[in-house]
Structure 1
Amino acid sequence: MASLAATASEVDAQPDFELIESETPQSGFTTPKEEEVTTEAQEAEEINTVTPEDTAEDTTEEEEETPLEQDQLEFEISSMPIVHRRTYNEDKEWITNSFTVNDTHMRELLAQALKDYFPDPDQLDVQKWTFEPSFESIVHRWDKLQALHKKIKQTCDDKNRIKAVNGLIDFIEPLVKPFIEARAKIQDSRRVSWSDLWQIFPPGELVVTKMYGVESIFRVVSSRKRTSAKIYQIKVEYVEWNGSACRIKNTKVDIDNYAGSQQVRSLKLVPLSYTENPDEFREAMRARGQRFQELRGYHYLAYDGLKVCMDVPTLEPVSGRVIIDTHAYYKSINQVPGDSGTAVNGSNEEEQTDEQNADATNNASDLDAVSTPRQTTDRKEDLSPLSDEECLMTSPWLIGFDLKAKKWGRFCIDNLSDIEWNDKAFDNLVSRGGEKHLAWDFVESKAHSTQDVDDFVHDKGRGIIILMFGPPGVGKTFTAEAVAERARVPLYTVSAGVLSTKPAELESGLDHALDLCRMWNAMLLLDEADVFLSARSDEGLERNELVSIFLTKLEYYQGILFLTTNRFSSIDYAFQSRVDLFLPYYDLDAASRRQVWQNFFVHFGEDKFKGITEREMDRLCELGLNGREIKNLCKSALLLSEKGRADDKDGRIMAEKLYMLAEKRVDALRLLGHGSDDRMVGRQ
């Protein structure tokens, strides 16, 4: 029990609401001894009716109350409309400790005013309808309380009810008046002291903060002052997509103690009403929330900005194509999409306990059957529309996959955009024997096929495997890229060097890639796959196991797989029998090289290479260069000619530098043993 040495304590309890307060202790009931009155925020409060003078003089021992007397006391207290607990301080002033509301009509009014204020709907019963200074809940809902009071007076015919609510307002108003005036000063000055932070963060208040550097709107759930740690802690909530449904998630923001007052807008958390242009900001966040709704599920998009890494929450720049798909992320790490948090429709679900720091349609394709993501049986997504306020509260980040880095991360909605498809890629692909058209025909036929053609074993042999073999730089990889671009689907590229040569790790890596391609209807390109295609032998048992695992996985893959190799002659026979389409590639001839040169001139800017004559073009085409080398030479020549571009009006400097670089490259390759005499034909 809390000790109140050298103080007096009293209970005010008048049924007549015309006079609630008094400068002297009020008569209501008497007891020879103090009695406990328990509340949630206050373990015990001493109640007696003696005067301050009596307290100073009376030193007699009081007899203990019997259980019957205690029951009688509790009954009398509970029958009083309002129990007002005050103490007499050293300055001989009455200080309110708390008050308890027992009257039914009064409780009804308070319940209406404080509806949805507390996280726990039974909080008023838990705290036994007892309120302590600074009466935060009543101050926050004072305007609503007055409006409800006014409505009752205008519409209610029950005189007892009117009398009760009048008495409640008359009693409360002088208690909360100092806090109401303090709130008005904060609103006028836009400054707040640390001790008054509770004034600007009522439950339900929309606030602005940054999530990984991006401004976002959260909603206040509760707040409290942690005096021991000297921080003011605000619990807030926001809407996040977990791969199957939108959930309301919680986090906490701490504001350290500070002296004096600060501008409200300088705080970590700023009420929306205190921002510079709240209406404009609200509209911008609402629009982003609409975009958030559209991006639930699977989306193949372009991205240019920072991503949040999943393993360690650091920011990294990304520029390229990404796949937004939270469901696939949880599947890839063998976790069920999280159900923590509360459903946005308000149903009671398990609340998140760990504290964290905090349809967009692509361009239409001529092959819709290819570009549409495959809907798997385990993908169950609730795409119900969000309310306007829920749209405001959506997270600015969505989980996605960086196709270039092959890593998961969080991507900012503001930096996502539709893909600008390169329709010229397929046309610019130079192939001597029509390989690109044959590859496209296979892809298109599979997409539009209505026949379920597979092996005698269910789900076996239903994919398409295209093996491209030949020397480097002749268009093998570019063929897969151009076909995927034309089909409007992701191309998941994996280099064999990235996959492990340990059997267990190889199997896990292949499963990861194949599962993602299945979920996204993506094409898989396994580049430089020589190590997994080589013929098995009696000596290399571990390599034999790698080949066996690889063959087994591919047999049950139902998508489109491109494989490239430079060593066709060493491919295992068992694998050759599983290939649906062989595409041989050869060294470029002069006509093919001319086309490749011209394509890259157009790509990098035709006017920059205007100084190259037909004779010089013939000489370039006679050099035995492949497509990759030609691209690198164009890039290098552009860099070297940058300095003298202003003086190179006719493009001669560019032409000379380009041919010089080409000759140097051919010379170097010949000396390294990677070239042949036919690469030097252009020098004669």
Structure 2
Amino acid sequence: MDVKSNARPKLQLEIQSDTLRRGFALIAQNMTTIRLSHDPIIIPEPFMEVYHCRGKIQQALKAEESDILRAELQLLVDFQDQYMKETIKTIDQFISNGYIEFEWLWAIFPPGELVVIENVSASDAPIQWCAIVKAFEFKTLDSGAQVWSLTLMHTGFNGLRLGKTETKLSFPAFSNNIGISRLPAYPLKYCKDEIWVQQEAIRRGRSYETYCLASSRAKESPVGTPMWHAGPIWTERRVIVDFEGFFEHSPMSNTATSITQLGASFTLSSLSEDELLTCPPLVPAYSFTSRQWCFVFIDDLSKIVWKPQIFEQLQIDEEMKGALQGLVRGYSTHAVLFDDFIEGKGRGLVFLLHGPPGCGKTMTAESISESLEKPLYHVSGGELGASVESIQDALETAFERATRWDTILLLDEADAFLARRDGADIERNSLIAVFLRLLEYQSGIVFLTTNRPSDFDPAFESRIHLQISFSRLDASKRELIWKLLAQKNGGCNLSPEQSKALGKLPLDGRRIKNILRLASLFAANRIQGSSKANGDAGDLLVDNRETDVVMEFGDIKKVLPFAITRLENAKRAQEEYIETEDLPAALADLMAEFSLK
């Protein structure tokens, strides 16, 4: 180990005696860093394995009845006195003061040691959990950097089996000494709250076991992380905890797939306290917000707070709204009363929503999701892949997940799957046939959205239970959207005059929401007194943090010119579909009305 430059060559201990090799192999059976079956057993300096076994060597020496083995064990004791005395003295001095140097890190991580790991980045607060040391090895990376690699064993679940698995941590080189309890992982015995940490780990382990035994659970989580030990934290909302789905579909699932099963079978509360103690604090989940797999902290998970009142705020034709509500309520109470001649066929509800962007299609699906207290699983047609084969696989996965998770499926931009079949395009016809089959045999609620309802295949007529046509928002509906969203997202109570003036702007619901989001960021920067408050509003687009800052009407007025200029530029570049030609004129009228220069 070239941690420090030494003039003399490195030493190594060779155990050549058959008697001592067998005796030492029994004493050091947990040591995985040396080959105990080899002849001779070779232990390189600084003789870590002898250091970790010195207590057991003394015990064996006292208990051994064989004179031959006892004499050879005494040789190991003498070896420590001759070659390890200064090492042991140095290490003991550091440990007695609660510190350690990089060179001697190995001394506090013997195999079998219970350690506490801190600062897993999936929560705002530091997380502490426990694992058991399997191995601790010195490594020199390709870059030349020197690290200690710690292999830990802990309880894990791979979607099929509950058992033991491994995880690794690295300790980059550091100068001077460091407090042992300041390390990212350290022996639990050095933790000042040792008993409390163990109790919390066992309590959390029971929750982990519960999530393992449930097929999937929808929850809310404030944050999530794409990595197991590190990585950026993003804000999450609703997630579905699903081990099986994670290990089947997630590209990150090689994190902990190697499981040594604890037993032939297990039931709730079957884990011992020692096994519960080493359950990880994170569980894999699919985020309905970011639409990707992540890890979430168990203690951050909470029941979903549903918002059924959103349906009342839905701005669509009242007659159609009543029909939609009646169908959904009937389905939720009598879902299994009707079946096709073929079992399992025709039990679901399929809605087709068509109309221009930002007119309420997504909010319609969201409102039904809230009223039924089922998560909305949003899949965009553009995210399913490029080839027919990949799209078919992605569609089948989406329908399978929606069934397993008991969600409402929103398949956005479904034009490619709904379009009329063409006799010359065999692959595309095959894709449509697959989609028809999936619709026919699904048993949940599916929302499809399209901008071309007149072009879809006639075969879909019999699969769709209700079509809802959306028109562009008129001024009165836009006025209400401004009022509701400003109050909900920024705590801003617009006056009737203000909401009426804003309603005159020919913007769709999505753009209204985006402008209010930008205004809330402007308000946050204004109140925090940051430099961004005096800068270009465009700079605020990079900030995506949530805020509880109360927004004012002035914040909306400040960002409107920038937001609308951006829309006009996008229209001229044909990057966005914007039908209205009088947006700048409407903005000028609003600015004049409220004296904004």
Same-fold call, TM cutoff 0.5: yes
Instruction: Say if 2:79 is the partner of 1:139.
Output: no
Quick one: structure 1 residues 596 and 665, their matched pair in 2 at CA, closer, same or farther if it must change by over 3 Å? farther
Letter in 2 for 1:303: S
Alignment length (residue pairs)? 530
CA distance in structure 2 between the partners assigned to 1:142 and 1:670 by the alignment: 80
* Equivalent position of 1:627 in the other structure: 509
Instruction: Say if 2:579 is the partner of 1:674.
Output: yes
* Equivalent position of 2:459 in the other structure: 574
Instruction: Say if 2:66 is the partner of 1:189.
Output: no
Instruction: Say if 2:221 is the partner of 1:303.
Output: yes
* Equivalent position of 1:443 in the other structure: 328
* Equivalent position of 1:455 in the other structure: 340
* 1:609/1:654 contact within 8 Å kept: no
Displacement of 1:588 in angstroms is 4.0
* Structure 1 segment 262-661 matched on structure 2, within 5 A: 264-265=180-181, 269-296=185-212, 297=214, 298-309=216-227, 315=232, 317-332=234-249, 340-344=258-262, 383-413=268-298, 415-449=300-334, 451=336, 453-500=338-385, 502-538=387-423, 543-589=428-474, 591-605=476-490, 607-610=492-495, 612-613=496-497, 617-618=499-500, 620-621=502-503, 625-635=507-517
CA distance in structure 2 between the partners assigned to 1:242 and 1:558 by the alignment: 28
Letter in 2 for 1:567: R
CA distance in structure 2 between the partners assigned to 1:643 and 1:183 by the alignment: 51
SS at match of 2:236: strand
Displacement of 1:248 in angstroms is 1.1
* 1:492/1:517 contact within 8 Å kept: yes
* Equivalent position of 2:533 in the other structure: none
- The Cα offsets for residues 449-468 of structure 1, whole Å up to 9 and x where unpaired, read as 26453333343322211112
* 2:16/2:39 contact within 8 Å kept: no
Quick one: structure 1 residues 574 and 280, their matched pair in 2 at CA, closer, same or farther if it must change by over 3 Å? same
* 1:244/1:382 contact within 8 Å kept: no
* Range that drifts further, 599-608 or 250-259: 250-259
Displacement of 1:631 in angstroms is 3.3
CA distance in structure 2 between the partners assigned to 1:203 and 1:652 by the alignment: 63
CA distance in structure 2 between the partners assigned to 1:617 and 1:224 by the alignment: 66
Letter in 2 for 1:292: Y
Letter in 1 for 2:189: S
Displacement of 1:300 in angstroms is 1.7
* Structure 1 segment 32-111 matched on structure 2, within 5 A: 44-45=16-17
- The Cα offsets for residues 562-598 of structure 1, whole Å up to 9 and x where unpaired, read as 0122332222211112112222334445554443343
* 2:181/2:191 contact within 8 Å kept: yes
Instruction: Say if 2:163 is the partner of 1:247.
Output: yes
Quick one: structure 1 residues 500 and 336, their matched pair in 2 at CA, closer, same or farther if it must change by over 3 Å? closer
Letter in 1 for 2:443: Q
Unaligned runs of 5+ in 1: 1-40, 46-77, 84-97, 102-106, 150-159, 348-379
SS at match of 2:225: strand
CA distance in structure 2 between the partners assigned to 1:457 and 1:484 by the alignment: 28
Quick one: structure 1 residues 327 and 273, their matched pair in 2 at CA, closer, same or farther if it must change by over 3 Å? same
- The Cα offsets for residues 27-55 of structure 1, whole Å up to 9 and x where unpaired, read as xxxxxxxxxxxxxx95644xxxxxxxxxx
* 1:670/1:676 contact within 8 Å kept: no
SS at match of 1:509: helix
SS at match of 2:421: coil
Displacement of 1:513 in angstroms is 0.9
* 1:231/1:254 contact within 8 Å kept: yes
Unaligned runs of 5+ in 2: 1-12, 122-126, 530-549
Letter in 2 for 1:419: I
* Equivalent position of 2:108 in the other structure: 200
* Structure 1 segment 92-171 matched on structure 2, within 5 A: 118=30, 136=51, 139-141=54-56
Displacement of 1:491 in angstroms is 1.1
CA distance in structure 1 between the partners assigned to 2:147 and 2:564 by the alignment: 70
* Range that drifts further, 423-432 or 314-323: 314-323
SS at match of 2:487: helix
- The Cα offsets for residues 295-353 of structure 1, whole Å up to 9 and x where unpaired, read as 3332222233351259x9854524332222111123337999987333345x8xxxxxx
* 2:220/2:238 contact within 8 Å kept: yes
* 2:16/2:40 contact within 8 Å kept: no
Letter in 2 for 1:409: C
- The Cα offsets for residues 616-672 of structure 1, whole Å up to 9 and x where unpaired, read as 6555556655433443454566667889999xx997857977998999999999999
* 1:204/1:220 contact within 8 Å kept: yes
Which of the pair is proportionally richer in helix? Answer: 2
* 1:430/1:475 contact within 8 Å kept: yes
* Range that drifts further, 429-438 or 631-640: 631-640
Quick one: structure 1 residues 211 and 475, their matched pair in 2 at CA, closer, same or farther if it must change by over 3 Å? same
* 2:523/2:552 contact within 8 Å kept: no
CA distance in structure 2 between the partners assigned to 1:181 and 1:643 by the alignment: 56
CA distance in structure 1 between the partners assigned to 2:259 and 2:70 by the alignment: 41
Quick one: structure 1 residues 444 and 143, their matched pair in 2 at CA, closer, same or farther if it must change by over 3 Å? farther
Letter in 2 for 1:424: Q
SS at match of 1:609: coil
Displacement of 1:411 in angstroms is 3.1
CA distance in structure 1 between the partners assigned to 2:555 and 2:72 by the alignment: 89
CA distance in structure 2 between the partners assigned to 1:589 and 1:484 by the alignment: 26
* 2:492/2:553 contact within 8 Å kept: no
Quick one: structure 1 residues 439 and 140, their matched pair in 2 at CA, closer, same or farther if it must change by over 3 Å? farther
CA distance in structure 1 between the partners assigned to 2:524 and 2:164 by the alignment: 54
CA distance in structure 2 between the partners assigned to 1:574 and 1:211 by the alignment: 55
- The Cα offsets for residues 38-86 of structure 1, whole Å up to 9 and x where unpaired, read as xxx95644xxxxxxxxxxxxxxxxxxxxxxxxxxxxxxxx9xxxx8xxx
- The Cα offsets for residues 225-261 of structure 1, whole Å up to 9 and x where unpaired, read as 899x998765431122212333211345676899997
* 2:158/2:259 contact within 8 Å kept: no
* Equivalent position of 1:152 in the other structure: none
Quick one: structure 1 residues 240 and 127, their matched pair in 2 at CA, closer, same or farther if it must change by over 3 Å? farther
Letter in 2 for 1:325: D
* 1:325/1:399 contact within 8 Å kept: yes
* 1:330/1:337 contact within 8 Å kept: no
Displacement of 1:512 in angstroms is 1.6
Letter in 1 for 2:54: V
SS at match of 1:292: helix
Displacement of 1:126 in angstroms is 10
CA distance in structure 1 between the partners assigned to 2:267 and 2:248 by the alignment: 17
Identity %: 25
CA distance in structure 2 between the partners assigned to 1:197 and 1:663 by the alignment: 59
Displacement of 1:517 in angstroms is 0.9
Higher Cα Rg, which structure: 1
